[in-house]
Chains A and B, each alone.
Chain A
Amino acid sequence: GAGVSQSPSNKVTEKGKDVELRCDPISGHTALYWYRQSLGQGLEFLIYFQGNSAPDKSGLPSDRFSAERTGGSVSTLTIQRTQQEDSAVYLCASSPRDRSTGELFFGEGSRLTVL
């Protein structure tokens, strides 16, 4: 596709349920990032992929959060046993570079609401 695609755009779930958020980066981009943005706040780094490996997962808030990337392309962020504090917009970005020296291309985000 022309840009970074994220799905679902909106997800409402009940506390305790698991959710999966998907990111389809720009074709050929080797680096992929997940960020979280709470209402009216800045972006909180979650995890970075280079190809299929995740050399930096230091931002994952707890072991309920996990992410994987397959085929050097699509990535899935999974949140198990969701809590109300997980409510936020989850943003995915990709970059053709493997270091923080270039711009990131962001998707529109997945808005998660945990009731």
Chain B
Amino acid sequence: SQQGEEDPQALSIQEGENATMNCSYKTSINNLQWYRQNSGRGLVHLILIRSNEREKHSGRLRVTLDTSKKSSSLLITASRAADTASYFCATGKAAGNKLTFGGGTRVLVKP
């Protein structure tokens, strides 16, 4: 099974609203990353949070990490139609050399 599992699988909101999605994982990690994928395109890195960090901001993005619950959340504030995409969390282990991706959350922002 996937190391990271996103919830919900799909999300539909109106432009201007906030979008929140969650990621749970099973084993200890070195860092957790969020990526965006527009339809038919490759993945684009959004933000990385390390295991010793609890919250990180980048523009309209806010990421939290709770290592005790093995979970992370991604908040997109004041969403725009251009935010319509799939969002994936990915975890990296301290002794590993690859990122393990979850199944993704499909976000639709309606204008």
Contacts and interface: CB of A to CB of B under 8 A. Distances in A.
Contacts, number: 63
Q: Which 4 A-B pairs have the closest CB atoms?
A: A100-B92, A106-B42, A43-B101, A103-B45
A101 B93 CA distance: 8
Interface residues on B, range: 20 to 34
A103 B98 CA distance: 10
Contact of A100 (B2, B30, B102): B30
Interface in A51-67: 55-56
A28 interface: no
A56 B44 CA distance: 23
B5 to A, nearest CB: 9
A42, A56, A107, A109 pick with most chain B CB within 10 angstroms: A42
B98 A100 contact: yes
A100 B96 contact: yes
Nearest to A47: B98
A56 B99 CA distance: 12
Contacts of A43: 43, 88, 90, 101
Interface in B86-100: 88, 90, 92-93, 96-100
Nearest to A100: B92
A31 interface: yes
18 contacts: A4-B42, A35-B101, A41-B103, A42-B88, A42-B101, A42-B102, A43-B101, A45-B98, A45-B101, A55-B97, A99-B92, A100-B30, A100-B31, A103-B45, A104-B43, A106-B43, A108-B41, A108-B42
Contact of A106 (B44, B93, B96): B44
B98 A101 contact: no
B85 interface: no
Interface string B62-102: 00000000000000000000000000101011001111111
Nearest to A9: B40
